[in-house]
Structure formats: C-alpha cells, structure tokens
Structure 1
Amino acid sequence: MATQFSSQFATPARPAAGSLADPSRAILGPKRDALLIWGAPLAAFLFVQLWLRGWDSLAPAAVSSQAVVGLFGFVSVLTWAHLIAVVPRAYMNPEVFAAYKLRLTIVPVLLLAALFLSHTVLVAAAVIAVFWDVHHSAMQNFGFARIYDMKAGNAPNMLRATDLRLNWMLYVGPLAAGAALATHTIYFQQFQGTSLRALTSLPGVLEARHDGVRLIAMMAYAAVIGWAVLDYARAIRAGYKLPAHKLATMLVTGAVSVLAWGFSPPLVALAAINLYHAVQYFALVWVKEGARMRGQGTALRAGLLFALGCAMFGLAYAAAVSGQPTLFVAPFIACSLLHFWYDSFVWSVRKRQV
C-alpha cells in the first residue's frame, strides 16, 4: 500500500492531449513556446513596460533617460539583425534553395541594381519597406497559427483564408486606429525632391481625416472578428478542433496589439512589437535550421557565430539608416525587402516546409 502510494506521487501526470502542456503540439516545447512563441507578445510588452516604469521610478532622470535610449537602441538593432536571420533558411537549406534557386539568386541582383541606379526607386523601396514590415509582422502571427493547426493534424487549407483575414486585422486594425499610423505615414515625406513628391501630402491628408480613418479601422476590426467567429463556429460544428496553442497565439497577439498600438505611445508600442517579433523569428530559425548551422561543431559555437553575424549586420544597418536614404543604405533596404518576400515562400505549411 505504501509502495503504491509512493509511486502515485513519483509518476508525473501526463499533460492532457492537445493542451498547452502537450509537447507534441508545441514548436519548441511547452515552456519555451509559452515564452518565445505564443506568449512572446505579452512577455515583450510587459518587459518594455516594466523597464520604462522601473527606471523612471527608481533612478534619477539622467540615468533613466539613458536606460530608455538604451532599450530603444537595443530593440532597433535586434530588429535589423533578425532580417539577415533568414539566410540559413533560404541559402543553407538545400531543399529550400533548390526549390527557389532563381528567386534567391537573380532577384537580389536585380533589386540591388535598381536601388543603386535610381534615387526615386531607393526612396520608394524605403517607404515600401515600412508598410511591408507591418504586413510581414501580421503574416508571422498567421504563420504560427497555421503551424499549430498543422501540428494538431488539421487540413492545411482548413480556415486558411479566415486566419489570413483575422491575423492581419488583429495586428493592423489597432495600428490603423491609433496614433502609430502617423509614425508610419510620415515616411512619405522622404519623397520630397523626387518625381513622386506629390505623395508627401499624404500624411497631412490622413491626419486631417484621422477620426474617419479610426472609425473605418474599428468597424473593419469588428467585422473581421465577427466573420471569423462565424467561420470557426461552422468549422467546429463540422468537426474541426481548435488547437489550444493556436487560440493562445491569436488571443495574446490580439490583446497585445490593442494594448500597444491603442494605448501606448508609438515608440513604446514599436519597441514591444518589434522585440517579440524578432525573438519569435530567431527562435523559429534556430529550432528549424540550428542543426544544419551546427554541422559537426557544437551548438554553443554555432549559436554564438549566428548571433554575432546577425548582431554585426544589425549594427551596420543602424549606422546606415541615420538620415536620408543614400546609396550606402541600398543593400540594407534590399535586405529588408528580400527578408519580407523570402518569408512568404521559404516557410510553407501547405507544403509542410516548416
């Protein structure tokens, strides 16, 4: 009896199938997913808030201001550093490179040539990168939701269009309705002095109609969420099982988008959003391509080299983007655009290339 009693306590209970604790449904593992994937938006948001409020409350103003600058600088470099992190996936994965060889070789050369040959194209590319980044961030959330669907055994096209609309609106809706929209549209001012200088008036036009833009964004947000609820209700009645990790991803991301874009100063929102986005991406690349990067060496050595290479690129990007777009910044703008584009095809749930 005593032996039976002891063994009951010695044997850990298995996690419920399909729960957040189920390792078969996680990308990195239950705990790491909670910190680095589906829970990363909340962790990043809380970290930024605690950092800013903590230094503001506990340190002299001179020290606090330096801590704030340091945080924003760190997140900026980390954000630019993650752009180059697609290289192991795109160029070191033989299956991916073979499937998209022409895209991965010819397009970068053509893009760089266009950026070097035309100042207007360079400025346009820099502005496009700002808004493509918004779409790209929403699509990363969509991608994780689809990966969790795949790991739960759901069909790759089940609710795909719904998830595309929903994840895009969960991220973009609060941004369009808040003050952060102006921090994005201001980049149209860079068209001054180019053949597209008429676009410099766009920020003022949108600012004058801010209340209308906000109302449209809020109505679209509510409509897309309502549409998604109906789609999910029909799918569940037809036998679809909503993965816990996918639900957590959308709930956490949606809540943080509202808190950051809707209720935080734009720079604070950008810091939190960019921090979790980069952390998620680094985690995904390492878990999928880390073994290939490691080769015959140690994981520590490969990880340090990967981190160092990305950090050096991030610092170089930071040095290049101070001021108006020049030829020196062209390779970095190209890298941004290529990163956003590559991610649309080097990761594919439908082809099970994740």
Structure 2
Amino acid sequence: MVSAAIPQTPAVATPIARTRPWHIHGPFFDSFWVIGMPLLALGVIVAFCLPRVPGQSILGGLGTTPPLLLFFAGCATYTHINITVARIYMNKQVFHRFPKRLVLAPVFAFTILAIAPSLLTTLIIVALLWDEYHSFMQTFGFARIYDSKLGNDPNTGRYVDMVACFVLEWLPYLVAVTFVAPDFNEIMNVGPEYYLRRRARFVPPEFLQSFLVLFAVVFVIFYVSYWAQKAKEGYKISKAKIAILASTGIANWFLVTHYTLIEGGAMANIYHGMQYIAVIWVSERMNLTQVLRTKKFRYAGIWIAFLAIAIPSLLFAALRTNGALMLAIFGEGIATTHPILYSVLSFFKEMPAILFAFWATTSLLHYWVDGFVWSVRKNEAV
C-alpha cells in the first residue's frame, strides 16, 4: 500500500513581538532620578529637620530649618533654571524653530525689569503662580511619557492626570495655609494661598480645610475608578506612572502634615530640580558633546560637556541665593581672614537691581520655553 504524500508547508518565521521599554533612559536611572526623587527629597527633610511641635507655625522660619539644607535647595533651584540655556540656545533643533522669540523675549523682559524695578513686585506674583503650575506640570509630563511608552492614546485621561498632579503636588500646600491665622504676616501676601487666608476671615478655616481635603479624597477615588474602568476596556496602565504619582503625593502630603512650609519648599525644589537636571542629562548629553567638541573623549566627554554647563551655574546660583546665608555660616570674621570671599558674598547679599532683573528673567524664561522644548521633542523619549 502506497502512502499518500503529505504536502509540506514551508516554515514561516513568526515575528516575535518586542516589549517596549517602560523607562525613559534605564530602569535604575528612572527609578532613582525620576520616580523615587520625591521620596528621596523627603528623606533628606526627615534626616535633617525636626518635625513641627504643637504651637509652632506651619510657615516655619529661618531659625528652625538647617541653613545648609536651604543652601542645597537654593542651588538645585537655580542650577536647573540656568541649565535651561543648554536646552535652548545650545540645541540647534530647538533654537532654529523659535529664533526670534527666544532672543527678543528675554531681552525685552530684562530691559523692562532693569529700567523699571518696581515691576518686580507684579512679577513675583506671576512667577510664584507660574512656578507652581510648572512644577506639577513637570510631574504630569513624566506621567504621560510613561503612559506613551506602553503605546496608549496620548489624549485618553490627559486632564484626569493633570488634575491628579495638582491634587498630589499643590493642593497639600493650599490645605496647609488654611492653618495660618489671617493676620499672620510671615509670608508675602501673594498667590492663591493668600486669598485662601483672606477668605478665612469670612469662612471658618475648618470649613476650607474640610472642603479641600474632601475634594482630594473624592478625586482620588474617582481617579482610581476611572483608570480601573479604562483597564477593563484594554487600556494599559503604566506602573511607572502610578509610581511617580504615588511618590509625589506621599512626599508632599506627608511633609505638610509633619513639617513646615519652608521645608516643603526646600523639598519640592530639591526633587523638581534634580528631576529636571536628569532630563537635561538624557536629552542634551550628546548634543553638548558636539557643541563643546568633547566627543573625542567618548563617554568622559559627556561628563566634561555637562559639567562645563552645570558647575558654573551651580557656583553662581549658590552665591546668588545664599550670599547672606554664607556670611551667617562663616561669620563676619572672614572679612579679615578671607577678604576676597567676604567681598563676593557681600556683593551678592545686597544684589544690585540689574542682577536681580537678570535672575528674574532667567526664571521666567525657564518656565516659558519649557513648552517649546516638549513640543519639539514630542516624538522622542524626552
């Protein structure tokens, strides 16, 4: 009996679906510099600051917060602001897209502020509000990047995540200032915090506290249920996004519960600044090696290029923000032992209006151009 020949179907290689990386630069890098940074900054506060005691003002004071902590926070703040130059003016892709506005806008702002220093009062209000918005929008940006890494629709849940960042990062401080007496004048009377305090003269502070906390709780419940429903519909939930939101929320709500607002500002400046510096490291490191011609040094050239921008910024920022603080630490005795250092610190202690206008301009420039940079890099990792 002859067996029938069975036709053989040629084997076809089945493509193996590759898992998209969830991270921006690497698992450890993202876990440490982005996701874990709020909790690390909180750890710094816990390690070096004492919790509030009954009767202590939630605003705090310079005498209750370690000077070196404020020094480090100030350095992180101004370094990440100044290093924006590397992201704007040393990146041809960004600069050539908006050459006129990136040149004319800061020149115009600096000129106006230098000629009319009285405008700085108004500028402070704008800068404070813009800074708060910019800070929680950075967290929002990271969260959406992690979402996009899984191939999700970038428009799904966008505003839900945005409000979540507000609830986790700014709302705790709005709740905290309702504990401040309306006639207490330790902070400048600007921003939404001030209007909450003024409102407390007509509405009992307990009502404001309860309303804001209730809003936070209700929104968190809504947020969890919203994404749970999206997961049932096939939306891929990013664990990295949930992790950075949880890290940010835990750090800020824990701090306002146990520490002062000055320490809260220090913590926020530390983690926000270090996250931003990490972004510059990822997005601009190769570009800087080309601009500064350090590519021949290979990987070491990246460090050379980056430090060439970071170190001068760090030192100048330290002097800018901490001239008076450093004099307090070293004492007036350095006038005879280190006269040059004393002269420099004294100069920055009483900063001329023109230099203050310069720093105000760089701060606004940092907030303003960030949207441009993210739009230019919308199809890149960062």
Identify whether the pair has TM-score above 0.5, normalized to the shorter chain: yes
> Shift of the alpha carbon at 1:137?
1.1
What SS does the aligned partner of 1:239 have? coil
1:170 aligns with 2:197: no
Residue 310 of structure 2 corresponds to which residue in structure 1? 307
State how 1:272-287 maps to structure 2 within 5 Å. 272-287=267-282
Letter in 1 for 2:187: I
Structure 2 CA distance for partners of 1:128 and 1:46, relative to 1, 3 Å = same
Pick aligned residue for 1:52 from 42, 49, 53: 49
Residue 97 of structure 1 corresponds to which residue in structure 2? 95
What SS does the aligned partner of 1:269 have? helix
Pick aligned residue for 2:369 from 332, 339, 342: 342
Larger Rg: 2
1:292 aligns with 2:287: yes
> Shift of the alpha carbon at 1:203?
7.9
> Shift of the alpha carbon at 1:98?
2.2
The percent of aligned pairs where both chains have the same amino acid is 28
| Worse-matched range after superposition: 34-43 or 220-229 | 220-229
What SS does the aligned partner of 2:153 have? coil
Residue 217 of structure 2 corresponds to which residue in structure 1? 222
Residue 198 of structure 2 corresponds to which residue in structure 1? 205
Letter in 2 for 1:37: V
Q: Distance in 2 between matches of 1:163 and 1:99?
A: 29
1:326 aligns with 2:324: no
Task: Give yes or no for contact 1:176–1:213 (8 Å, CA) kept in 2.
Answer: no
Q: Distance in 1 between matches of 2:251 and 2:197?
A: 28
What SS does the aligned partner of 1:241 have? coil
Structure 1 unaligned regions, length at least 5 = 1-16, 54-64, 191-198
Letter in 1 for 2:284: E
1:161 aligns with 2:159: yes
> Shift of the alpha carbon at 1:279?
0.8
> Shift of the alpha carbon at 1:185?
9.1
Task: Give yes or no for contact 1:40–1:279 (8 Å, CA) kept in 2.
Answer: yes
Structure with more of its chain in helix, by fraction: 1
Show CA shifts across 1:306-334 (max 9, x none): 22122134134315986799343111111
> Shift of the alpha carbon at 1:187?
2.2
> Shift of the alpha carbon at 1:94?
1.8
Structure 2 CA distance for partners of 1:123 and 1:154, relative to 1, 3 Å = same
Residue 4 of structure 1 corresponds to which residue in structure 2? none
Task: Give yes or no for contact 2:73–2:266 (8 Å, CA) kept in 1.
Answer: yes
Structure 2 unaligned regions, length at least 5 = 1-17, 51-62, 295-300, 324-346
Task: Give yes or no for contact 1:25–1:152 (8 Å, CA) kept in 2.
Answer: yes
Task: Give yes or no for contact 2:33–2:275 (8 Å, CA) kept in 1.
Answer: yes
CA RMSD, 1 decimal: 3.2
> Shift of the alpha carbon at 1:232?
1.5
Q: Distance in 1 between matches of 2:313 and 2:267?
A: 20
Q: Distance in 2 between matches of 1:253 and 1:273?
A: 9
Residue 76 of structure 1 corresponds to which residue in structure 2? 74
Residue 12 of structure 1 corresponds to which residue in structure 2? none
Give the TM-score taking structure 2 as reference length.
0.73
